[in-house]
Structure 1
Amino acid sequence: MSAAQGSSYKQDILALTAEPDRRYAFPALLIGALVSAAVVFVALGDWIIAAGFAAAVIGLAGLAYAVRPAEPAIAATRELPPDWSIVRTAANGAGMGLAVTDQAGKLVCASDLYGEWFPGWPAPSSLPFAPDQIVALVQAGRLAARDGEGRCDTLAHGALRLEAHITRTGRADDYLIWHFQPVRQSSVVEDFGRMISGEVGAQLGDAGLMAAIIGSEGRIRSTNDAFLMRAAGRTDTDLTGRGFAEFFRRDDQGRIFFQREATSTLPVAVFRVLLKGDQSDGPAMILLVDQPGDATLGGSSLSYLQGLLALLPFGVAMADRDGRLLFLNGVFARAANVAEGQQPAYPGDLVVAEDQAALASAVRRYAVGPQMSGDIAVRLRNQPEEPVAFSLAGVRGLGEAAVILTLKDDNEEGRLKRQVAQATKMQAVGQLAGGVAHDFNNILTAIIGHCDLMLMRHTPGDSDYDDIQHVKSNSNRAASLTRQLLAFSRQQTLRPQVIQLPDIVSDVSSLLKRLIGENVKLEVTHGRNLGHVRADPGQIEQVIVNLAVNARDAMPDGGTVSIQTFAVTAAQVRELRSTVLPAADYTGLRVSDTGTGIPPEILPKIFEPFFTTKEVGKGTGLGLSTVYGIVKQSGGYIFAESEPGRGTSFTVYLPVHAANAEEKEPASIKSTPPARSEWGTGTILLVEDEDMVRAVAERALTRQGYTVHTASDGEQGLERLAELGHVDLLISDVVMPNMDGPAMVREARAMRPDLPVLFMSGYAEEQLRKSIDMDKVSFLPKPFSVAQLSEAVVECFSQAAQNRAEP
Structure 2
Amino acid sequence: MLERHAALLDPAPQDGAPRWLVPVLVAAAAASGGVLFYAVGEPLFAGLFLAGMAAMLVAAFVIDRRTTAQLLPDPTSQAGEERAMSAAALSLSPDAAAISDANGRLLVANEIYRERFAGSPSPLDLATSEGGRDALKTACRIALRDGMASASGIEVEGGTLNLDLKRIGNDADPAILWSFPGAPQPDALVVAARRLAGRTGESLASAGVLAALVDDEGRVIAANRPFTNRALSLSEEDRPYFIDLVESSEDGLLLLKAEEGRGGPLKGVHVPVDPASEDGAGTIFLFDHGQQPSETTSEQVQMLLELLPLGLALVDRDGRFLTMNSAFRTAGGIEGGGMPAYPGDLVVKEDKAAVADAVRRNARGPAMSGDLAVRLAIAPKEPVALTIAGLRGLGDAAVLLLLKDNSEEAKLKRQIAQATKMQAVGQLAGGVAHDFNNILTAILGHCDLMLMRHTPGDSDYDDIQQIKSNANRAANLTRQLLAFSRQQTLRPQVLQLPDTVSEVSHLLKRLLGETVELQVKHGRDLGPVRADPGQLEQVIVNLAVNARDAMAEKGGGTLTIRTFSVRAEDVADIGSEILPVADYSALSISDTGSGIPPAILGKIFEPFFTTKEIGKGTGLGLSTVYGIVKQSGGYIFADSKVGEGTSFVIYLPVHVVEEQDARTPAQVKAPDPESELWGSGTVLLVEDEPMVRTVAERALTRHGYEVLTATNGEEALEILARGEEIDLLVSDVVMPLMDGPTMGREARKDRPDLPILFMSGYAEEQLRKSIDIVNVSFLPKPFSVQELAEAVRKVLTDK
Question: Smaller-chain TM-score range?
Answer: 0.5 to 0.7
Aligned partner of 2:223 in structure 1 is: 222
> Partners in 1 of 2:277 and 2:480 — Cα distance?
43
Aligned partner of 1:783 in structure 2 is: 782
> Partners in 1 of 2:280 and 2:657 — Cα distance?
51
Letter in 2 for 1:197: A
Aligned partner of 1:635 in structure 2 is: 633
8 A Cα contact 1:570 1:583, kept in partner: yes
**In structure 1, which of residues 194, 198, 212 is the aligned counterpart of residue 202 of structure 2?**
194
> Partners in 2 of 1:420 and 1:611 — Cα distance?
19
Structure 2 counterparts to residues 67-466 of structure 1, below 5 A: 189=196, 190-201=198-209, 211-213=211-213, 219-223=220-224, 225=226, 229=230, 231-232=231-232, 242=239, 245=242, 247=244, 272-274=270-272, 284-287=282-285, 311=306, 314-317=310-313, 329=324, 331=326, 332-337=328-333, 343=340, 350=347, 353=350, 378-393=374-389, 395-396=391-392, 404-412=400-408, 414-415=410-411, 418-419=414-415, 422-423=418-419, 425-446=421-442, 448-449=444-445
Cα displacement (A) at 1:718: 1.5
3-state SS in 1 of match to 2:605: coil
Q: Could you give the per-residue CA deviations for residues 323-351 of structure 1, whole angstroms, max 9, x where no partner exists?
A: x5655625434412357868475659725
Aligned partner of 2:742 in structure 1 is: 743
**In structure 1, which of residues 535, 557, 560 is the aligned counterpart of residue 558 of structure 2?**
560
8 A Cα contact 1:685 1:708, kept in partner: yes
Aligned partner of 1:800 in structure 2 is: 796
Cα displacement (A) at 1:514: 1.4
Cα displacement (A) at 1:544: 1.4
Aligned partner of 1:72 in structure 2 is: none
> Partners in 2 of 1:695 and 1:366 — Cα distance?
80
Letter in 2 for 1:383: A
3-state SS in 2 of match to 1:555: helix
> Partners in 2 of 1:404 and 1:597 — Cα distance?
46
8 A Cα contact 1:271 1:393, kept in partner: no
Cα displacement (A) at 1:568: 4.8
Aligned partner of 2:591 in structure 1 is: 593
Aligned partner of 1:725 in structure 2 is: 724
> Partners in 2 of 1:283 and 1:514 — Cα distance?
71
> Partners in 1 of 2:733 and 2:465 — Cα distance?
30
Letter in 2 for 1:496: P
3-state SS in 2 of match to 1:545: helix
3-state SS in 2 of match to 1:626: helix
Cα displacement (A) at 1:748: 1.1
- Which range moves more in the overlay, 407-416 or 552-561? 407-416
Cα displacement (A) at 1:678: 6.6
> Partners in 2 of 1:358 and 1:467 — Cα distance?
73
> Partners in 1 of 2:340 and 2:461 — Cα distance?
76
Query: What is the Cα-based RMSD across aligned positions, in Å?
Result: 5.3
Aligned partner of 1:486 in structure 2 is: 482
Letter in 2 for 1:627: V
- Which range moves more in the overlay, 536-545 or 380-389? 380-389
8 A Cα contact 1:366 1:372, kept in partner: yes
3-state SS in 1 of match to 2:633: coil
> Partners in 2 of 1:362 and 1:685 — Cα distance?
79
- Which range moves more in the overlay, 644-653 or 555-564? 644-653
**In structure 1, which of residues 529, 534, 540 is the aligned counterpart of residue 530 of structure 2?**
534
Cα displacement (A) at 1:527: 3.8
Given the superposition, is the C-alpha separation of residues 216 and 692 from structure 1 closer, same or farther in structure 2, using an over 3 Å criterion?
farther
3-state SS in 2 of match to 1:747: helix
8 A Cα contact 2:757 2:795, kept in partner: no
Whether 2:510 is the aligned partner of 1:509: answer: no
Report percent identity of matched pairs.
56
8 A Cα contact 2:597 2:641, kept in partner: yes
3-state SS in 1 of match to 2:659: coil
3-state SS in 1 of match to 2:486: coil
> Partners in 2 of 1:300 and 1:589 — Cα distance?
60
Letter in 2 for 1:733: D
- Which range moves more in the overlay, 558-567 or 451-460? 451-460
Q: Could you give the per-residue CA deviations for residues 279-300 of structure 1, whole angstroms, max 9, x where no partner exists?
A: 9889843246899xxxx99899
Given the superposition, is the C-alpha separation of residues 515 and 753 from structure 1 closer, same or farther in structure 2, using an over 3 Å criterion?
same
Q: Could you give the per-residue CA deviations for residues 218-257 of structure 1, whole angstroms, max 9, x where no partner exists?
A: 644335858975x55x6xx799973555637999xxx998
Cα displacement (A) at 1:493: 0.6
3-state SS in 2 of match to 1:618: coil
Letter in 2 for 1:316: L
- Which range moves more in the overlay, 725-734 or 612-621? 612-621
Gaps of 5+ in 1: 1-185, 202-209
8 A Cα contact 2:315 2:323, kept in partner: no
> Partners in 2 of 1:338 and 1:560 — Cα distance?
42
> Partners in 2 of 1:468 and 1:385 — Cα distance?
57
> Partners in 1 of 2:301 and 2:569 — Cα distance?
51
Cα displacement (A) at 1:545: 0.8
Given the superposition, is the C-alpha separation of residues 528 and 327 from structure 1 closer, same or farther in structure 2, using an over 3 Å criterion?
closer
Structure 2 counterparts to residues 495-506 of structure 1, below 5 A: 495-506=491-502
8 A Cα contact 1:216 1:282, kept in partner: yes
Aligned partner of 1:520 in structure 2 is: 516
Whether 2:714 is the aligned partner of 1:715: answer: yes
Q: Could you give the per-residue CA deviations for residues 756-789 of structure 1, whole angstroms, max 9, x where no partner exists?
A: 22111122111222444655532111233xxx24
Cα displacement (A) at 1:483: 1.4
8 A Cα contact 1:299 1:399, kept in partner: no
Letter in 2 for 1:514: R
Given the superposition, is the C-alpha separation of residues 698 and 799 from structure 1 closer, same or farther in structure 2, using an over 3 Å criterion?
closer
8 A Cα contact 2:245 2:258, kept in partner: no
> Partners in 2 of 1:238 and 1:195 — Cα distance?
24
8 A Cα contact 1:742 1:772, kept in partner: yes
8 A Cα contact 1:271 1:394, kept in partner: no
> Partners in 2 of 1:248 and 1:345 — Cα distance?
38
Q: TM-score, normalised on structure 1?
A: 0.59
8 A Cα contact 2:201 2:225, kept in partner: no
Cα displacement (A) at 1:406: 0.8
Letter in 1 for 2:561: I
Cα displacement (A) at 1:530: 4.4
Q: Could you give the per-residue CA deviations for residues 687-743 of structure 1, whole angstroms, max 9, x where no partner exists?
A: 234455445544555566654433343333212322361223211122334433223
> Partners in 2 of 1:479 and 1:240 — Cα distance?
76
